[in-house]
Chain A
Amino acid sequence: ETGVTQSPTHLIKTRGQQVTLRCSSQSGHNTVSWYQQALGQGPQFIFQYYREEENGRGNFPPRFSGLQFPNYSSELNVNALELDDSALYLCASSLVQQGATSPLHFGNGTRLTVT
C-alpha cells in the first residue's frame, strides 16, 4: 500500500507571503487532517476534511485554509505568513467508517521556515 506523501519537504518563505503545502493520502483512506508541530511540542490540530468538507477545526485563524480533492489528496494554504508559522506541518490520513476506529497515518511533514 502507498503511504502518505507530502511535498515539498522543506520550504523557506518571507513574512507576509502565502504558501501551499500538498499531501497525498494513503490509498483507501477517506479522511485527511493537518497538524502543526512546533519545535519541542506535540502536533497541534489545524483541521480535518472528510468527503471534501471541513468537519473539524482547531484554534487556528482563518488564514489557515484547506482543500480535499475527490482522490482524497489535500492542500493546506496559509496566507499572510508570520514568523510563528515556522514549524513542521504534518498531514495524516485515516479511514473513517461505521464501527471502526483507524489510527492516523502520517506523512514525513513539510518543514516551513518563515523569515
Chain B
Amino acid sequence: AQSVAQPEDQVNVAEGNPLTVKCTYSVSGNPYLFWYVQYPNRGLQFLLKYITGDNLVKGSYGFEAEFNKSQTSFHLKKPSALVSDSALYFCAVRDGGAGKSTFGDGTTLTVKP
C-alpha cells in the first residue's frame, strides 16, 4: 500500500524568507510524486511532479521540490515566499503512471507581511 505523510499541519514564514513544506512517502515501486495547492472553496491545482530524472524539480509560481530517494522525501521549497502563497498544500503519490493518487492531509502555509 502507498502512503504520504505531511508532518506539519501548519507552516508560518515571513514574506521574503525561504519556505519548506515537508512530505515523506511510502510506495512499493517507483514513486510518481506530485504537489498540489488548494485555495478556499476551490479544487486542487497542480504545482509540480517528479517522475524520473533530476532530483530537483521546478514548477509553477517559483516553487520547486527536491526528491530524496534514501530519505523517501519530496519537500516543497521556494526561495522567497509571497503573501499570495498562503494556501493549503498537498503532497501526493501515484501508484504507477495511471493509478490512483494518495494524498497527505495537507499543510497550511501562512506567509505574513
B-binding residues in A (CB < 8 A): 4, 31, 33, 35, 40-45, 48, 50, 55-56, 58, 90, 92, 96, 100-101, 103-109
- Report A99 CB to chain B, min CB distance, Å: 8
9 residue pairs bridging A and B, Cβ less than 8 Å apart: A33-B100, A35-B103, A41-B105, A92-B43, A101-B97, A103-B49, A104-B101, A108-B41, A108-B43
Contacts of A41 in B (CB 8 A): 105-106
Quick one: which of B34, B41, B43, B51 contacts A4, CB cutoff 8 A?
B43
Q: Which chain B residues lie closer than 8 Å to A105 at the CB level? A: 46
Q: A90-B43, A96-B97 are in contact. List 6 more A-B contacts (CB 8 A).
A: A42-B103, A45-B102, A48-B99, A104-B46, A106-B43, A109-B43
Q: A104 — nearest CB in chain B belongs to which residue? A: B101
Q: In the bound complex, do residue B44 and residue A56 qualify as a contact, i.e. CB atoms below 8 Å apart?
A: no
Chain B contact-residue range equals 20 to 34
Q: Give the CA-CA distance A43 to B45 in the complex, in Å.
A: 13
A35 CB contacts on chain B under 8 angstroms: 103
B105 engages A40 (CB within 8 Å): yes
| Chain A residue contacts of B98, Cβ below 8 A | 31, 50, 55, 96
Q: Across the interface, which residues of A come within 8 angstroms of B103, CB to CB?
A: 35, 42-44
Whether B32 contacts A101 by the Cβ 8 Å rule is yes
Chain A residue nearest in CB terms to B99: A56
Chain B residue with Cβ nearest A95: B98
B89 CB to closest chain A CB (Å) equals 10
Instruction: Map CB proximity to A onto B82-113 as digits: 1 under 8 Å, 0 otherwise.
Output: 00000000100010011111111110000000
Cβ-defined contact, A45 with B49, below 8 A: no
Distance A92 CA – B102 CA, assembled complex (angstroms): 13
Contact of A106 among B44, B105, B106 (CB under 8 A): B44
Cα–Cα distance between A35 and B4 once the two chains are bound (Å): 16
Contact B46 A103 (CB under 8 A): yes
- Cβ distance B81 to chain A, nearest Cβ, rounded Å: 22
The residues of B that contact A33 with a CB separation of less than 8 Å are: 100-101
Complex contacts, A56 vs chain B, CB 8 Å: 99-100
Q: Assess the B43–A58 pair: CB atoms within 8 A.
A: no
